[in-house]
Chain A
Amino acid sequence: MAYDKFSTLVSTAIPLQVENVDTDQIIPARFLKAVERKGFGDNLFRDWRYDRQNQPKPDFVLNNPTYSGKILIAGKNFGSGSSREHAAWALYDYGFRVVVSSFFADIFKNNALNNGLLPVVVTPGFLQKLLDTVEQNPGAEFKVDLATQSIVNLTSGESETFDINPYKKHCLINGLDDIDYLVSLKDEITEFEKSKQ
């Protein structure tokens, strides 16, 4: 799936100080009925964002005009639960390009990386400082640089580096996905199958 290449992002951030945000919250199951990947952003965090009458809940952070940006900063164990890639699609479609947390669930992390959404793992202490910075100054900006694998709090100047698989980094920077690569291995795969018979 085509997505925008990722190199450097400077943006304000939206704080979501909740742990164990599961993919049922990111996109509830009843919105998974589409057969194309379009428009999932409308239902991102649907039941936290809207009440049963479809009115925005004013106390949810995405409905607070004070906060905006392409970076979501969330509590630990983000993206747990279901394998639905729709969660990554919804975050991307809404406009997020980076999710920062101290811990991501495995399948969500893979899904994000396969869709141009960068999961940035920081230490719990740094995560708290990022959340504090946004709370004190919603206009605070952060810089995420994939080449140097760093995230900088531009208010305090503090930074951390983060890990990413070198192959996935290469894919994100160049906007590539895995399918073309795998299809190019057809001969090797066929050989492998023969060796197993």
Chain B
Amino acid sequence: MATKTLFDKIWDSHVVTQVEGGPDVLYIDRHLVHEVTSPVAFLGLENRGLKVYRPQNTIATPDHNVPTIDQHLTIQEDLSRHQVDMLTKNCEKHGIQLCGLNHPWHGIVHVIGPELGITQPGRTIVCGDSHTSTHGAFGAVAFGIGTSEVEMVLASQCILQPKPKKMRITVDGQLKKGVTAKDIALYIISQITTSGGTGHFIEYAGTAITSLSMEGRMTLCNMSIESGARGGLIAPDETTFEYIKGREYAPKGEEWDKALAYWKSLPTDENAVFDTEFHFDAADIEPMITYGTNPGMGTGVTKAIPTGEELSGSDLLTFQKSLEYMGYHPGDKMLGKPIDFVFVGSCTNGRIEDLRAFAAFVKGKKKAPSVTAWIVPGSKQVERAAREEGLVEILTEAGFKFRQPGCSACLAMNDDKIPEGKYAVSTSNRNFEGRQGPGARTLLASPLTAAAAAITGVVTDPRELMDA
């Protein structure tokens, strides 16, 4: 029998049929829906007189637009409220489970899927959001789709999709002190660029990857799209099974044993072939920070911005435009750059482990008075856990504001906007121009590097402030 990769095994077993000379008709096990990319799809469905084909395999939550304070009140902004109301109406009409505002399961779509046990190995999962790649951490084929494709899945539980190529990124060795999954992600993207993964699905492998917690794996897979890849996945193992067991939608009893046997058959066969391979050494990775306007423009926090000397033509123009936007110069050292805001949250780093790491770091310290910091949990469950574990007390003591769940300042669709020209160290995923508000300047980093900057008010090597 031909050898197969983890990705092949899942993809191939979900192909209903192939369009002649065209894409695969891929069956989708779970469809996650949020308020921004779904209304036009529901409208399209209605215009065709169609119903949602498998509402029981669909789950929805409003996350992009929601305020992160006073969630018990009516949403103030008309357009946001309307979009959130539309989601509620559409879910009611089509019988879709909705985790609305104030529901105990409410949260960012990519945080709640895993914590409810909806995300499982071997599944195909889509959502009208590029960070759907997050769910690949469980050994699922998960990818972001456009609104037309959301409509396809609502109508038929299938999507037309050419099979992507396969890439394996192996990171071996032990991570150094202060280096997190976020740093692995930013390091990889700085090496392969924001288009290096295009056309591919990435499998992450190697000892540095298998030693990550589930939440670390989610952070890494989440950022796959920032390298241009459709998704990233990691072979399921004991860490995965342990995380899923007992969750709301996890298989129980006999079903669990059956599922486990299937999940254990999924890892890539020995000698399976990838279209592209990269190898990195964990020892080469240090805490990372970005200096430019795409996630590939990142460097070790102790290093300097490249000089750009080797660039020419439109590469050089793009590099210059980016640094001009950031107010930086080629060759500048990153350490000591003043910052104004710190944002901790998002589907990348808004989980309980992220908040634990941040709280442990700032415990007993004080936030720099010049810094405004927003700590935004990824979900209601994360929010509750942070309270129960005493993290909120630690954060408040150190001068930080703890907010309510949502996408928040990651894309600034709600009121959580970084003002024009201000610098924000953010644990989110994109440092594009204006991403966190018109004119805002974003430096992507891990929760630890964000914590260090929040304490000192400047870009700081987190290792300098960590206990030995």
- Chains A and B bind each other: yes
With A19-B318, A106-B230, A182-B25 known as contacts, the answer to whether A189 contacts B157 (CB < 8 A) is yes
B65 interface residue per 8 A CB criterion: yes
Q: What's the least CB distance linking B216 to chain A, in Å?
A: 23
User: Does B152 reach chain A (CB closer than 8 Å)?
Assistant: yes
**A52 touching B314 in the complex, CB below 8 Å, given contacts A183-B155, A188-B16:** no
The contact of B130 among A29, A82, A178, A186, by CB within 8 Å, is A82
Q: Which of B25-84 contact A (CB under 8 A)?
A: 25, 27, 36-37, 39-40, 43-44, 48, 50, 53, 64-65, 79-80, 82-83
Let me know if A22 and B294 touch, CB within 8 A: yes
Q: A111 CA to B430 CA in the complex, in Å?
A: 20
Contact of B27 among A34, A36, A183, A189 (CB under 8 A): A189
A179 & B44 in contact (Cβ 8 Å cutoff):
yes
Indicate if the CB atoms of B152 and A178 lie closer than 8 Å.
yes
Q: Does A110 contact B (CB under 8 A)?
A: yes
Kindly identify which residue among B194, B198, B430 contacts A106, using a CB–CB cutoff of 8 Å: B198
Q: Does A37 contact B (CB under 8 A)?
A: yes
Looking at the assembled complex, report how far the CB atom of A74 sits from the nearest CB atom of chain B, in whole angstroms: 10
Query: How distant is the Cα of A128 from the Cα of B313 in the complex, in angstroms?
Result: 10
Q: Is the CB of B432 within 8 A of A33?
A: no
| Contact of A17 with B by CB under 8 A | yes
* Bound CA span A33–B412, Å: 12
Interface residues of A in 46-99 (CB under 8 A from B): 47, 52, 75-77, 80-86, 88
Known contacts A29-B411, A47-B438: A83-B198 contact under CB 8 Å: no
Flag if A167 contacts B21 (CB, 8 Å): yes
A37 engages B430 (CB within 8 Å) = no
Which residues of chain B come closer than 8 Å to A83, judged between CB atoms?
A: 37, 128-130, 144-146
Task: For the complex formed, measure the closest distance between the CB of A36 and the CB atoms of chain B, giving whole angstroms.
Answer: 7
Q: Does A18 contact B (CB under 8 A)?
A: yes
- Tell me whether A36 and B412 are in contact in the complex, defined as CB-CB below 8 angstroms, given that A75-B318, A185-B16 are known contacts: no
Q: Are B230 and A182 neighbours in the complex by a CB distance under 8 Å?
A: no
Nearest CB in chain B to that of A165: its residue: B22
Q: Cβ of A77 and Cβ of B146 under 8 Å apart?
A: no
Q: Determine whether B368 belongs to the interface, using a CB cutoff of 8 Å to chain A.
A: no
**A-facing residues in B283-342 (Cβ within 8 Å):** 294, 313-315, 317-318, 321
In the complex, what residues of A have CB within 8 A of residue B198's CB? 77, 103, 105-106
Contact call A114/B148, Cβ cutoff below 8 A = yes
- Contact size range, B: 35 or more
0/1 string, A20-56, CB within 8 A of B gives 1: 1010110011101111110000000001000010000
| A12 in contact (CB, < 8 A) | no
Does B195 count as interface, using CB distance less than 8 angstroms?
A: yes
Report the minimal beta-carbon distance from A27 to chain B, rounded to whole angstroms.
11
Q: Is A177 an interface residue (CB 8 A)?
A: yes
Known contacts A20-B294, A81-B432; decide if A179 and B145 are in contact (CB<8 Å).
no
**Chain A CB within 8 A of B156 CB:** yes
Chain A's interface size range is 35 or more
Confirm or deny: B456 has a beta carbon within 8 angstroms of a beta carbon on chain A. no
Q: Considering only CB atoms, which chain B residue lies closest to A115 in the complex?
A: B148
A105 to B82, CA, bound (A): 31
Which residue of A1, A179, A180 has the most chain B CB atoms within 10 A of its CB atom? A179
Q: Are B22 and A166 in contact (CB under 8 A)?
A: yes
A80 touches B195 (CB 8 A): yes
CB-CB under 8 A from A179, the residues of chain B are 44, 48, 50, 148, 151-152, 155-156
Q: Indicate whether A9 reaches chain B with its CB closer than 8 angstroms.
A: no
Is A107 in contact with chain B by the CB < 8 A criterion?
Answer: yes
Q: Are A165 and B23 in contact (CB under 8 A)?
A: yes
Q: CB-CB < 8 A to B16: which residues of A?
A: 185, 188-189, 192
Cα(A114)–Cα(B65), bound, Å: 26
B228 on interface, CB distance cutoff 8 Å: yes
Q: Do B318 and A18 have beta carbons less than 8 Å apart?
A: yes
Q: List residues 162-197 of chain A with CB under 8 A from any CB of chain B.
A: 165-168, 177-183, 185-186, 188-189, 192-193, 196
Q: Which of chain A's residues has its CB closest to B437's CB?
A: A30
Are the CB atoms of B160 and A178 closer together than 8 Å? yes
Name the residue of chain A whose CB is nearest to the CB of B81. Answer: A33
- For A177, list chain B residues within 8 Å (CB): 148
Query: Is A28 touching B438 in the complex (CB atoms < 8 A)?
Result: yes
B314 touches A24 (CB 8 A): no
B397 in the interface, Cβ–Cβ < 8 Å?
Answer: no
Contacts of A167 in B (CB 8 A): 19-23, 160
In the complex, which residues of chain B have a beta carbon less than 8 angstroms from the beta carbon of A105?
195, 198, 228
Known: A24-B435, A179-B155. A85 touches B317 (CB 8 A): no
Distance (whole angstroms) from the CB of A178 to the closest CB of chain B: 5
B173 beta carbon closer than 8 Å to chain A:
no
A196 to B36, CA, bound (A): 32
Known: A81-B432, A179-B44. A33 touches B314 (CB 8 A): no
What are 8 A-B pairs at a CB distance below 8 A? A19-B314, A28-B434, A33-B36, A85-B146, A110-B145, A111-B148, A181-B160, A192-B16
The 10 closest A-B pairs by CB, nearest first: A167-B22, A33-B79, A85-B146, A35-B39, A111-B146, A114-B148, A182-B156, A83-B144, A166-B21, A85-B147
Known: A34-B79, A47-B434. 18 other contacts (CB 8 A): A20-B195, A33-B65, A33-B83, A34-B39, A35-B83, A36-B43, A80-B194, A85-B40, A85-B146, A103-B195, A110-B145, A165-B22, A167-B22, A167-B23, A179-B148, A182-B156, A182-B160, A189-B53
- Taking beta carbons and an 8 Å cutoff, which residues of A are in contact with B? 1, 17-20, 22, 24-25, 28-30, 32-37, 47, 52, 75-77, 80-86, 88, 103, 105-107, 110-111, 114-115, 128, 165-168, 177-183, 185-186, 188-189, 192-193, 196
